[in-house]
């Protein structure tokens, strides 16, 4: 046993040292992509301030300002107690700055949850398909092909029209619900609806990761080191989780950061059409949707959530681009 | 190749069937539909009236039978095998439902179906569902009737009134995107890392990542709302109509231009500008990036170097040797625009209140007009599958190295 274990330990140590420097190399390459760095900074600022929403926000999320008779009111309006509405008041008299912060929290939580779940699930299925081949591969690949042929947006719309508007709720254990409602800073009832939306978006979200990982696993499983692992008696599970998935993780990372932008846009598109997250839970999408009715008198109104949405969606794309450049071995310098 | 084609076509039928079954099932498990809330609206409605209405919308069938009637128009009566009517006593639905009112835990009264007082048997179908009312099945080109948006009118007719608007929008924007996207992509590739390349790579990056609905709102803001607000100071600022396809009343674009009469080509052109701009920006962005990368790939090939080494003029190398091969992968993308010509653009059409197919589908969904939504999904799925196959076949035509077996 010891004779087998020793080379593994040596190998791991060598790998750790190499990984350390590799991460530094990746970081150095990533820094060269100026737009990606700027995007990363901006998104981090938005993300951190959304985490600190209850501390930063000057008002309560749904609090209505009764002192102002003009609704919606422009940025800089001061209420009777002298508090400033930095980004103005919406049509119901709620503070927009506060709502944008909470919306960032909701939109980003949804995006992170969807991407985490779907990339993990997709990578796992893809690795299975690529590693085992045969019937497993045929089955998984056919499902992916089928899902890719059906038009996504119309089906997403059907699902959310049916599931979200009819109060269908996935039964989840209480602590998950409490965690989600704490994460979104919203009552549990609202959090449950968000879970439904996450579920709908995951349904179509895992395809990209699965296809990528399948390709990687297919080529990796034919390489000598996998053969060597099999010869040492490593189990399939160990090979898949310790060797195939870590080796194929780079394209998944790039895909995930692009998907974060995509999911944020998809979620706000659904909410914009009135089929996603509903008022009073704020998201950038439903804020834009209500602003549409008032924009002819208040042209600044759609800009408030819109600017955040654009920064985040374009930002994640730039980060993905930067990561791709940084992780691409063909560009080794 | 023949084997491959046969296999693909069988797969296509399978995919379309599954998509149809899936969407039909989704609509059926969902509450709502054409008769939702009718008992609340009209309290004096009797059970028999309700049963008749349900029969009119074919809601009395169990859903697998309803699905089969929707798909192929069967069963439309007893099944005749060897001159004899069989299965006449097979219950395919419930005509008169027995409802029960139940008080739920939170004190709300809920009506749930508790049984059936009168079943629909196969032999009843001709009397309960006369030929005039029932659809012949979508495989025979009958998409049934609209239930909410144009109650009682055929779905096909309603779609045909919307199709011209969608075609106008999509054809214009696709043509414009080709016209701009391809040359921009080629030029960026030739002058890689130049100012032009950087500018357009960034622009197309932003275009592809920009949410179309926000871009649409920005267009309306810039070309309708702002000129309107600044009318006093700058009366010469032109403003565009923000929505729909034609105006109702004559309107002025700018103070220095004559008023536009509704329905004229100029009026329609003005309405087209903003939605087309949004769609074109998005397509152009994705396509120019695609052409750029494919062109760069080709320019690295040996035969391009050979062509240069031969002493050919750079222009000939690019147009005759590189470009033709670079556009091969583009064929597949171009073919995939086909379903869009029918389906339109759901989000852009909604933002600009464009009376096209995408908006019809969205209306059908929000107002629970299942037949229209189903027809839309079905046709879009068929077109998508056909376009994918066409793309794969075209691939072998333009690139003989690729062979399917």
User: What distance in Å separates the CA atoms of residue B48 and residue B54, rounded to the nearest whole number?
Assistant: 10
User: What are phi and psi for residue B73, nearest 5 degrees?
Assistant: 80, 10
Token duo for residue A107? 């939109």
Summarize pLDDT for B248-279 with one digit per residue, the tens.
888 888 877 888 888 888 999 999 999 999 99
Q: Which residue in the set A166, A269, A303 is minimally distant from B213, CB to CB?
A: A269
Chain B's closest residue to A292, CA to CA, is B217
B343/A151 Cβ within 8 A: yes
Burial class from Cβ neighbours inside 10 Å (0-12, 13-18, 19+) for residue A273 reads buried
A149 and B15: CB-CB below 8 Å?
A: yes
Are the Cβ atoms of B381 and A149 closer than 8 angstroms? yes
Residue B74 structure tokens: 């069967």
Contact list in B for residue A273 (CB cut-off 8 A) is 346-347, 350, 362
| Predicted pLDDT at A165 | 64
Q: What is the pLDDT of residues B51-78, one digit of tens each?
A: 888 887 778 888 888 888 888 877 777 7
The CATH code of the domain that includes A137 is 1.10.3720.10
What pLDDT is stored for residue A284 in this prediction?
92
Residue B90 CB contacts under 8 Å (≥ 6 apart), including other chains? B121, B122
Cross-chain Cβ contact A313/B211 below 8 Å: yes
Specify the DSSP element, H or E, that contains A128: helix A96-132
Among partner residues B214, B350, B366, which is closest to A161 by beta-carbon distance? Answer: B366
pLDDT of residue A154: 87
The range of the structural domain enclosing residue A124 comes to 22-327
Q: Using CA atoms, how far apart are residues B102 and A98, in angstroms rounded to an integer?
A: 43
Residue A314 to residue B377, Cβ atoms within 8 A? no
Which tokens hold the place of B307?
């062509």
For chain B, the three-class secondary structure string (H helix, E strand, C coil) is: CHHHHHHHHHHHHHHHHHHHHHHHHHHHHCCCCCCCCHHHHCCCCCHHHHHHHHHHCCCCECHHHHHHHHHHCCCCCCEEECCEEECCCCEEEEEEEEEEEEECCCCCEEEEEEEEEEEEEHHHHHHHCCCCCCCCCHHHCCCCECCCCCCCCEHHHHHHHHHHHHHHHHHHHHHHHHHHHHHHHHHHHHCCCCHHHHHHHHHHHHHHHCCHHHHHHHHHHHHHHHHHHCCCCCCCCCCCCCCCCCCCCCECCCCCCCCECCCCHHHHHHHHHHHHHHHHHHHHHHHHHHHHHHHHHHHCCHHHHHHHHCCCCHHHHHHHHHHHHHCHHHHHHHHCCHHHHHHCCHHHHHHCCCCCHHHHHHHHHHCCCHHHHHHHHHHHHHHHHHHHHHHHHHHHHHCCCCCCC
Alpha carbon distance, N-terminus to C-terminus of chain B: 6
Residue B281 Cα to chain centre, angstroms: 19
Q: Looking at beta carbons, which residues of chain A come within 8 Å of B384? A: 149-151
Find the range with the poorest average confidence among A18-32, A247-261, B13-27, B147-161: A18-32
Q: Is A299 on the interface with B (CB under 8 A)?
A: yes
For chain B, say whether A113 makes contact (Cβ under 8 Å): no
In a domain, A15, yes or no: no
Higher pLDDT, B213 or A79: B213
Q: Find which of A43, A152, A158 to mutate to test the B interface (most B CBs within 10 Å of its CB).
A: A158
CB-CB neighbors (< 8 A) of A138 in chain B: none
- Calpha distance B210→A306 (Å, rounded): 10
Calculate how close chain B gets to A14, using CA atoms only, in Å. 36
Residue A4: inside a domain, yes or no? no
Q: What is the pLDDT of residues B272-325, one digit of tens each?
A: 999 999 999 999 998 998 899 899 988 888 999 999 999 999 888 888 888 888
Is there a contact between A299 and B339 if contact means CB atoms under 8 Å apart? no
| CB contact (8 A) between residue B380 and residue A309 | no
Give how many domains chain A has, as a whole number: 1
Q: Cβ of B15 and A314 within 8 Å? A: no
Q: In this predicted structure, which of A86-95, A246-255, B219-228, B396-405 has the lowest mean pLDDT?
A: B396-405
Mean pLDDT of chain B: 85
pLDDT at position A166: 65
Q: B346 to chain A: which residues are within 8 Å by CB?
A: 153-154, 157, 273
Token digits of residue B216: 């649409």
Q: A154, B214: Cβ pair inside 8 Å?
A: no
Q: How far apart are CA A187 and CA A177, in angstroms?
A: 10
**ipTM (interface predicted TM):** 0.84
Q: Which residues of chain A are within 8 Å of residue B210 when distances are taken between CB atoms?
A: 310, 313-314
Name every chain B residue with its beta carbon within 8 A of the beta carbon of A155: 23, 377
**Distance in Å, alpha carbon of A143 to nearest chain B alpha carbon:** 10
CA distance A4 to chain B (A): 45
> Are B26 and A159 an interchain contact pair (Cβ–Cβ within 8 Å)?
yes
Residue A20's pLDDT is 60
Are A146 and B361 inside 8 Å of each other by CB?
no
Q: Would you tell me which residues 234-293 of chain A have a C-beta closer than 8 angstroms to some C-beta of chain B? A: 261, 265, 268-269, 272-275, 288, 291-292
**Is the CB of residue A184 less than 8 Å from the CB of residue A194?**
yes
A9 is a domain residue: no
Q: Distance (Å) from the C-alpha of residue B286 to the closest C-alpha of chain A?
A: 13
Residue A332 lies in a domain: no
Exposure string of B243-262, with b = 16+ CB inside 10 Å and e = fewer, is: bebebeeeeebeeeeeebee
A146 contacts B15? CB cut-off 8 A: yes
Cβ distance B209 to A265 less than 8 Å, yes or no, reads yes
Q: Which residues pair with B145 in a beta bridge?
A: B154
Q: What pLDDT score was predicted for residue B217?
A: 93
Rounded Cα distance between A151 and A130, Å, is 26
Residue-wise pLDDT for B334-379, tens only, equals 888 999 999 989 999 999 999 999 999 999 988 888 889 999 999 9
Picking from A160, A180, A173, the residue whose alpha carbon sits closest to that of residue A276 is: A160
Mutate to test the interface with A, among B211, B278, B358, B374 (most CBs of A within 10 A): B211
User: A10 in a domain, yes or no?
Assistant: no
**Stretch A303-322: mean pLDDT, rounded?**
91
The answer to whether position A276 is within a domain reads yes
Q: Is pLDDT larger for residue B42 or for residue B238? A: B238
d(CA A40, CA A326): 14
A152 and chain B in contact, CB less than 8 A? no
A161, A259, A264: best mutation site toward chain B, by most B Cβ within 10 Å? A161
* Domain membership flag for residue A109: yes
A9-13, B8-12, B17-21, B111-115: lowest mean pLDDT where? A9-13
Mark yes or no for CB contact B361/A154 under 8 Å: yes
The pLDDT > 70 percentage for chain A reads: 91
Asked if residue A16 is part of any domain, the answer here is no
Q: Which residues pair with B80 in a beta bridge?
A: B85
* Cβ neighbour number for residue B199 with a 10 Å cutoff: 12
Task: Provide the shortest C-alpha distance from residue B211 to chain A (in Å).
Answer: 6
Using a CB-CB cut-off of 8 Å, the residues of chain B touching A157 are 346, 361-362, 365
Q: Cα distance from A149 to chain B (closest Cα, Å)?
A: 7
């Amino acid at each position: 046993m010891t004779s087998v274990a020793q080379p593994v330990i040596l190998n791991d140590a060598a790998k750790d040292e190499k990984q350390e420097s590799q991460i530094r190399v990746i970081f150095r390459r990533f820094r060269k992509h100026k737009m990606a760095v700027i995007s990363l900074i901006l998104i981090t600022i938005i993300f951190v301030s959304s985490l600190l929403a209850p501390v930063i926000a000057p008002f309560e999320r749904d609090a209505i300002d009764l002192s102002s008779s003009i609704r919606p009111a422009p940025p800089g309006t001061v209420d009777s107690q002298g508090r400033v509405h930095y980004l103005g008041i919406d049509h119901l008299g709620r503070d927009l700055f506060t709502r944008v912060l909470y919306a960032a929290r909701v939109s980003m939580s949804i995006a992170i949850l969807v991407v985490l779940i779907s990339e993990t699930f997709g990578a796992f299925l893809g690795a299975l398909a690529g590693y085992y081949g045969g019937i497993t591969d045929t089955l998984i690949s056919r499902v992916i092909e089928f899902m890719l042929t059906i038009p996504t947006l119309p089906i997403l719309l059907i699902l959310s029209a049916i599931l979200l508007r009819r109060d269908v709720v996935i039964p989840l254990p209480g602590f998950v619900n409490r965690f989600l409602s704490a994460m979104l800073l919203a009552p549990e009832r609202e959090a449950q609806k968000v879970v439904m939306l996450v579920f709908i978006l995951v349904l179509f979200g895992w395809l990209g990761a699965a296809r990528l990982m399948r390709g990687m696993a297919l080529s990796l499983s034919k390489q000598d080191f996998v053969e060597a692992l099999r010869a040492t008696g490593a189990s399939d599970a160990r090979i898949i989780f310790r060797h195939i998935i870590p080796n194929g993780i780079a394209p998944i990372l790039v895909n995930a950061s692009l998907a974060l932008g995509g999911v944020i846009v998809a979620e706000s598109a659904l909410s914009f059409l009135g089929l996603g997250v509903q008022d009073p839970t704020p998201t950038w999408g439903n804020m834009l949707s209500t602003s549409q009715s008032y924009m002819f008198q208040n042209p600044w109104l759609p800009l408030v959530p819109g600017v955040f949405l654009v920064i985040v969606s374009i930002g994640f794309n730039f980060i993905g681009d930067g990561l791709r450049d940084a992780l691409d071995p063909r560009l080794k310098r | 190749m023949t084997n491959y084609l046969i296999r693909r076509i069988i797969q296509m039928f399978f995919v379309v069937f599954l998509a149809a079954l899936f969407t039909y099932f989704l609509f059926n498990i969902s509450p709502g539909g054409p008769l939702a809330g009718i008992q609340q609206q009209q309290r004096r409605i009797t059970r028999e009236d309700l049963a008749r209405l349900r029969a009119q919308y074919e809601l009395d069938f169990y859903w697998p039978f309803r699905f089969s009637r929707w798909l192929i128009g069967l069963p439309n009566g007893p099944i005749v095998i060897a001159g004899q009517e069989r299965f006449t006593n097979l219950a395919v639905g419930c005509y008169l439902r027995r409802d029960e009112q139940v008080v739920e835990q939170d004190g709300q009264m809920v009506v749930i179906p508790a049984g059936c007082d009168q079943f629909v048997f196969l032999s009843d179908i001709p009397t309960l569902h006369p030929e005039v009312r029932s659809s012949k099945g979508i495989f025979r080109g009958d998409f049934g009737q609209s239930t909410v948006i144009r109650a009682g009118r055929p779905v096909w007719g309603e779609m045909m009134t919307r199709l011209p608007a969608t075609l106008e929008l999509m054809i214009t924007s696709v043509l414009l995107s080709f016209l701009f996207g391809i040359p921009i992509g080629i030029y960026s590739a030739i002058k890689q890392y130049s100012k032009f390349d950087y500018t357009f790579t960034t622009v197309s990056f932003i275009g592809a990542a920009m949410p179309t609905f926000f871009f649409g709102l920005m267009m309306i803001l810039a070309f309708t709302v702002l000129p309107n607000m600044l009318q006093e100071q700058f009366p010469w600022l032109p403003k565009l109509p923000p929505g729909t396809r034609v105006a109702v009343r004559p309107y002025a674009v700018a103070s220095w231009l004559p008023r536009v009469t509704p329905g004229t080509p100029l009026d329609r052109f003005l309405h087209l500008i903003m939605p087309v701009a949004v769609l074109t920006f998005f397509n152009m962005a994705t396509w120019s990036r695609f052409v750029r990368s494919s062109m760069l790939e080709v320019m690295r090939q040996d035969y391009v170097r050979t062509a240069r080494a031969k002493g050919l003029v750079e222009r000939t190398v690019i147009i005759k040797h590189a470009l033709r091969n670079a556009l091969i992968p583009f064929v597949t993308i171009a073919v995939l625009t086909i379903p869009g010509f029918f389906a339109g653009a759901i989000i852009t059409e909604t933002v600009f209140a464009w009376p096209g197919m995408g908006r019809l589908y969205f209306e059908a969904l929000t107002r629970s007009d299942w037949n229209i939504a189903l027809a839309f999904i079905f046709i879009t799925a068929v077109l998508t599958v056909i376009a994918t196959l066409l793309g794969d076949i075209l691939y072998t035509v333009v690139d003989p190295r690729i062979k399917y077996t």
